[in-house]
Amino acid sequence: GHNNLNAKLVLLGDMGAGKSSLVLRFVKGQFLEFQESTIGAAFFSQTLAVNDATVKFEIWDTAGQERYHSLAPMYYRGAAAAIIVYDITTPDSFTRAKKWVQELQKQGNPNMVMALAGNKADLEDKRQVTADEARVYAEENGLFFMETSAKTAANVNDIFYEIAKRLPRA
């Protein structure tokens, strides 16, 4: 029906930040302590009911290793939404996340819904990026921000749900 929407969504972020783990949690409700590093990219789909509508996410889980950087435009081109993921225990991954945001601002779809995910929020004792720092950055750059944990599932469904709510309706 007219309340059904397909939305291409891409995950970007440094290797090891937890992109695949977030997707595995969202799509299958699972978590692997030894998740393998993604080669190229992986595709998943998952449907969410939001109010009176159904959003079918077509999810591209990209590879964070630097050697795959040049492939990224194939996955974010035409995407309705992006989740930029960093690891709250690794400042370099936050720096890398900001670079992805810049690239999307320059080359991405201007109406793209962008979410910043500070992942591994369960590792509070190893935290090196404060939530305040990330929240300020997100506000200044028009993203919405959540800290997530693929391990505990905290905020994982929520971030996809918030994206679904923000997608422009036809």
Residue 120 binding result from Mg ion, ligand GTP, none, given CB thresholds of 5 to 8 Å by partner type: ligand GTP
Residue 16 binding result from ligand GTP, Mg ion, none, given CB thresholds of 5 to 8 Å by partner type: ligand GTP
Report how far apart the first and last C-alpha atoms of the chain are (Å, whole number).
12
H helices of the chain, in order, are 19-28, 72-76, 91-107, 131-140, 156-166
Q: What is the contact surface with ligand GTP in residues (CB under 6 A)?
A: 13, 15-21, 32-35, 37-38, 63-65, 119-120, 122-123, 149-151
Residue 21 binding result from ligand GTP, Mg ion, none, given CB thresholds of 5 to 8 Å by partner type: ligand GTP
Shortest reach from residue 147's CB to ligand GTP, in Å = 10
- Please identify the residue of the shown chain whose CB is closest to the bound ligand GTP: 64
Residue 17 binding result from ligand GTP, Mg ion, none, given CB thresholds of 5 to 8 Å by partner type: ligand GTP
**E strand or H helix at 49, and its extent?**
strand 41-50
**Binding string, residues 7-46; x marks residues near Mg ion by CB under 5 A:** ------------xx-----------------x--------
Instruction: Give the Cα separation of 16 and 23 in Å (integer).
Output: 13
Burial 116-132, CB ≥16 within 10 A → b, else e: bbbbbbbeeeeeebeee
Q: Give 66 or 139: the residue with its C-beta nearer to ligand GTP.
A: 66
Name the strands in the sheet holding 53-62, side by side, starting at the edge strand that comes first in the sequence. 41-50, 53-62, 4-13, 81-87, 113-119, 144-147
Residues that bind Mg ion (CB under 5 A): 19-20, 38
